[in-house]
A and B are shown apart, each in its own frame.
Chain A
Amino acid sequence: MTSTDKSDAAADTLQGGPRRGRVRSGRRGVPLPLLVPALIGLAFLLLPLVALLVRAPWSTLPEQLTSTEVWQALRLSLVCATAATAVSLVIGVPLAWLLARTDFPGRGFVRALVTLPLVLPPVVGGVALLFALGRNGVVGQWLDSWFGITLPFTTAGVVVAESFVAMPFLVISVEGTLRAADPRYEEAAATLGASRFTAFRRVTLPLIAPGIAAGAVLAWARALGEFGATITFAGNFPGRTQTMPLAVYLALQNNPEAAIALSLVLLAVSIAVLAGLRDRWMTAS
């Protein structure tokens, strides 16, 4: 071994091994036509968040965040997003099971319908909800005259709007997990005397719990950020239907500092969700 080899080896060790050193060398490097757009893309995604942090009124932040309106909106957002997630779990998990484990005519079509709210503009969802559950809606008129239940422009309406938009995320996530889960565990349960429901409850549900948790977090995050369907179906009444995104939009008109403060709170929540999800996926795999 010559002295040059030795110094090369030493340099490799410093850089964390020979392989990494080789990738960094010219020939294996990233071509410029890919590198430049990639960096622009990265900057494009990060810049707005940086701007938010740069323009944040750090000195007045504590008092902005402790104002009644902010607390009201934040509390309402958390309550409604959590309620919408609960609704999605109760009716979404069985729906996912139906789609993944049974075979009925038109299943593909039903599946497509379930995913429709994923791509549908939320405002359209809100309008559709109004004509379904509004006071004069297809179902809403009966809810009103028989039970005296009015959904639009109420906190319950917020939950309905958020569930409509967020549930497909949960259904898709849980259905995917169910498809990946070995159905033979359910067969094994059946040979041990378990009915299909018992097998679902005692075997399938625990096995797909990580998938359900991931789906629930996704749905919760989606519900928390819901804007279009909520403002269309539930309106914008502080303390009753004004959630964080609505409050941000309104604050931007007359109090930009408050808008930034509210946005920072939502950003923090989003980052927390992301961190939480990553942990779930790592423990699930």
Chain B
Amino acid sequence: MTDTDAPSADLVTEDTGDEGLDARLVVEHGTFRLDVTLTAAPGDVVALLGPNGAGKTTALRALAGLVPLGAGHLRLDGTALDRMPPEARPVGVVFQDYLLFPHLTALDNVAFGPRCQGAGRAEARAQAAEWLERMGLAEHAGAKPRRLSGGQAQRVALARALATHPRLLLLDEPLAALDARTRLEVRAQLRRHLAEFEAVAVLVTHDPLDAMVLADRLVVVEHGSVVQEGTPSDIARHPRTDYIAQLVGLNLYRGQADGHTVRLDTGPSITTTEDLSGPVFVAFPPSAVTLYRDPPSGSSARNHWHGEVAGLETHGDQIRADLTGELPLAADLTTVAAAELELHPGAPVWAAVKAAQTHAYPA
């Protein structure tokens, strides 16, 4: 992940013209309403990132035609797909648990799509063998899905979806079913295959790391709507909701800026280095927080607040302290520091943050 602020790159992907995906997906069931706008150019990999129940999978199913659109539109390379049944859409799907047909071999699973598109048995099998070869699975062609490992099944599922030459590839939580070690390896492979894919790819995930590694652009969905979109680095630096802030590990606040002071909607103010006015977000990482047992007098930090320890947990080799009080925040400190401060739930503490370590940006 490179740290470049290149808004021009964003503009290029936004300008789809006739090529690529242009969709506004509105789906309602019960009290839940999904309303998401998605655009992407061929070659783009877009990640729909959001908590469980945000509507990501519904959006994916709407793109595939498995859920009817309540309103909106769906165009792919200039063709309207809204009214097309799923089997007529040039869309490939890698399902979360892959859904490989258990009664068919890996080869016949991959050959299924070409067969449905009219290829003869031998021709479809030849194409399938080629795809398996490309995925490095040639020796597993004759295996039934239950004999494949999680990573192999994932690649067969990807080959099966790609074998129909889709213009839109959809991946639903492509790595969620894998254990941690396989995940690392499969993520790298998937990244390579997605980079080679010349049409639009949309993947759904609740894992920010998967999203940032695999996608060029993130679309964050919460409660059925898009709350933020941009490049991974932009989103990591400028989160706009608590959910995203938590994902990328930042303390996030919203307030009114007046010069170098941001008065938060909840009362306290934060001094920042940025000179802004109007509604802003302020973010700082938990590692920027220093804790004291007494009011810090000699500290050079411009920001300090009184609080109380609400909870402690180990976080890597650090201790993460959750504070309540004037300014609820998360702070990281070493085990030694935590012991010296005699931290325990309910302990009163002072938290200090240097202005230089905060980051303010317009809301």
Contacts and interface: CB of A to CB of B under 8 A. Distances in A.
B99 A193 contact: no
A80 B99 CA distance: 41
Contacts of A187: 64, 66, 86, 99
Interface stretch (A99-107, A201-209, A214-222): A201-209
Nearest to B103: A206
Interface string B95-110: 1000101110000000
Contacts of B120: none
A15 interface: no
Interface stretch (B111-119, B146-154, B288-296, B331-339): B111-119
Interface in A180-229: 182, 184-185, 187-195, 198, 202-203, 206-207
Contacts of A185: 99, 101
B157 to A, nearest CB: 9
Contacts of A193: 87-88, 113, 116-117, 164
B116 A198 contact: yes
A79 B64 CA distance: 48
A189 B66 contact: no
A191 B93 contact: yes
A192 B160 contact: yes
B113 A188 contact: no
Contact of A192 (B66, B102, B103, B113): B113
Given A193-B113, A194-B116, A184 B95 contact: yes
B85 interface: yes
Interface residues of A, number: 17
B158 interface: no
Contacts of A189: 101, 112, 116
B91 interface: yes
A194 B112 CA distance: 9
A273 B107 CA distance: 36
A194 B104 CA distance: 15
B86 A195 contact: no
Contacts of A188: 93, 95, 99, 101
B91 A191 contact: yes
A190 B86 CA distance: 6
A188 B92 CA distance: 9
Nearest to B102: A207
A195 to B, nearest CB: 6
Given A184-B95, A202-B112, A191 B86 contact: yes
A191 to B, nearest CB: 4
18 contacts: A182-B99, A184-B95, A187-B64, A188-B101, A189-B101, A190-B85, A191-B87, A191-B91, A191-B92, A191-B93, A192-B87, A192-B164, A193-B116, A194-B112, A195-B116, A206-B101, A207-B101, A207-B103
Interface of A: 182, 184-185, 187-195, 198, 202-203, 206-207
The 6 residue pairs across chains A and B that have the minimum distance between CB atoms: A193-B116, A192-B113, A190-B86, A188-B99, A206-B103, A191-B93
Given A187-B66, A189-B101, A194-B87, 4 more contacts: A185-B99, A188-B95, A191-B92, A193-B87
